[in-house]
Structure 1
Amino acid sequence: MPKKVVPEAERRRRRPTRQGSVLSEKLIVQTALRMLREHGSAGLTARRLGAALGADPSTLYRYFAGLDGLTRAIGEELMGRALDSWTATGSWRTDLRALGLAIHASYLAHPQAALLTASRVTGRPREIEVDETILGILRGAGFGEADAVGVYHAFIDLALAFASLDAGALAIKDEVREADEDMWSSTYARLPAETHPHIAATAHLLAARMNHSAYPVVLDTLLDSAEARLISARSGAGTA
């Protein structure tokens, strides 16, 4: 049976840790993000986290339902940071595009955490706030409920899928990533036109593009489709 999580007001530590800090959910999540950046997911353990915080490892269980609860809180933190960096303009397409880019950027700022959390549904307040915001933008633009949910589904999955894909490249060692990136110039660009005519014809373009995320391009494609669907729905309503 999982241990009961103590409410924030009851679990706040009255004495500072050995580092002189008073424990809180926020401090634990921030410390976990730092540990993930430095050591990867394998290095995030209750024992190591307790040592980094200057507290007994069991203290974690007063704040979270184990490491899985902490993982959900980390995912929520990344979502919350994306929302905090975003400003609405009132233009549904502009706002969705900016929010998608903000989510992608927030996760890429912490690639190890992105790999750990991008596939999770946290059910925590900040994530719910992001979802409510997206659905509100879509419904406010005039999308019907079914279309709003369809676009929301594609939108959030696209942002998180590319966050995971691009974070994977950032999480590997620099020399390995650089060797991968160099393949487009060192290998693909040298393939002969006699055996690989299509790659040979486009090699310079591949080298220029393939080491950059395709997320903005694919995001625009999704928004183009959504906008066309909205225009079609309005047109159909107008002629009914």
Structure 2
Amino acid sequence: MSERVVPEGSRQRRRPTKQGAVLSEQLIVDTALRLVARHGAEALSVRRLGAALGADPSALYRYFRNTDALLLALADELVGRAQEGWTATGDWREDLRSMGLRIHACYLSHPQAAVLAAYRTTGRPHETRAVERILGILRTAGFPDPLAVRAYHAFVDQALAFAAQDAAALALPQAAREADEAVWHAVYGRLPAESHPHIAATFPLLAADMSGSGYPFALELLLAALTAQHPETTGGTGPT
């Protein structure tokens, strides 16, 4: 897409597409997510999206200025889906835990989009709501503002970093992913104790653990560290 500006009041396309749907920002985002899952970054083109939607490609400019604006919308959609159905429990640790695990799981359910979007800052509604919620959890629990901000930063970066890494692995072609997984047994499982005593001693545990994500345990380490940083925190949480 190239840069274009369409007046706010002129963005809605009321005539149905060839598939009989009325074009909307949400329909474009949903379609883009589906196409990215199949084709990766190449899906973010007006030609491909227009064909999938049964609409003139130029109509997409009524909703998004360019492909980067669409990518930010995809990123925000993932953040929004991660929050669907989330409710506060009143325990700040449990609320952060559930929020982090939701973010990680949602990104892994859309690995191709996660690889493109996990590191972006959108400033869009779903993201701002998530920032407000997480800061609310921390501040209401009694974290002073400087620590709440640092905790927010560490929490979000940890969740997104693991999500991006794990999603990138899932986004690999199946043959490459299976080859990477086989390395643990083909290489590490055959290392002699004489030269690699610690790998040899822990190999069965190591191979089993490396088959999954390290995020859940890393999240628990972060929560324990935050508790130690400010043990006077209450059990309260922020707004839902």
Q: Note the C-alpha offset of 1:233.
A: 7.8
Letter aligned with residue 4 of structure 1:
V
Q: Contact conserved, 2:142 with 2:233, CA < 8 A, in 1?
A: no
Which deviates the most, 83-92 or 138-147? 83-92
Corresponding position of 2:17: 17
Indicate conservation of the 8 Å contact 2:227/2:233, yes or no. no
Report the secondary structure of 2:230's partner residue: helix
Distance of 1:231 and 1:181 partners within structure 2? 40
In structure 2, distance between residues paired with 1:159 and 1:5: 36
Aligned-partner residue type, residue 144 of structure 1: P
Contact 1:14 1:22 in 2 (8 A): yes
Q: Counterpart in 2 of 1:139?
A: 139
- TM score, norm. by length of structure 1: 0.93
2:85 & 2:169 partners in 1: Cα distance?
A: 24
Deviations 1:29-51, CA, capped at 9 Å, x for gaps: 00000000001112321110111
Q: Which has the higher helix share?
A: 1
- Residue 231 of structure 1: SS of its match in structure 2? coil
> In the TM superposition, what is the alpha-carbon distance from 1:103 to its structure 2 partner?
0.6
Give me the whole-angstrom Cα distance separating, in 1, the residues matched to 2:170 and 2:186. 21
* Contact kept? 1:112, 1:167, Cα under 8 Å: yes
Secondary structure, counterpart of 1:40 in structure 2: helix
- Rounded to whole Å, the distance in 2 between the matches of 1:5 and 1:153 is 36
Gapped regions of structure 1 (runs ≥ 5): 235-240
Q: Does residue 38 of the first structure (1) align with residue 38 of the second (2)?
A: yes
Higher relative contact order (CA closer than 8 Å, sequence separation 6+): 2
| Residue 150 to residue 53, structure 1, CA distance change in 2 (3 Å) | same
Q: Work out whether residues 108 and 114 of structure 2, in 8 Å CA contact, stay in contact via their aligned partners in 1.
A: yes
Q: Is the alpha carbon distance of 1:29 and 1:6 closer, same or farther for their aligned partners in structure 2, counting shifts above 3 Å?
A: farther
Where does residue 214 of structure 2 map in the other structure? 214
Match of 2:49 in 1: 49
What is the deviation of 1:87?
2.1
Inter-CA distance 233–28: structure 2 relative to 1 (3 Å threshold): closer
Deviations 1:19-78 (A, max 9, x none): 111011100000000000001112321110111111111111110121100000001000
The separation in 2 between residues aligned to 1:206 and 1:132, in whole angstroms, is 38
CA deviation string 1:128-167 (max 9, x = no partner): 0000000000000000000000000000011110110000
Determine the structure 1 residue equivalent to 2:116.
116
Q: What is the RMSD computed on CA atoms of the aligned residues? A: 1.5
The question of 1:230 aligning with 2:230 is answered: yes
* Aligned residues with identical type, % of pairs: 58
Matched residue SS, 2:154: helix
TM-score (normalizing by structure 2): 0.93
Once the two structures are overlaid, the 10-residue window that deviates more, 138-147 or 12-21, is 12-21
Aligned pairs, number: 233
Gaps of 5+ in 2: 235-240
Q: Tell me the distance in 2 between the aligned counterparts of 1:186 and 1:150.
A: 41
After TM superposition, list the pairs within 5 Å mapping 1:71-110 onto structure 2: 71-110=71-110
Partner of 1:238: none
Following superposition, which runs of at least 4 residues in structure 1 exceed 3 angstroms of deviation? Answer: none
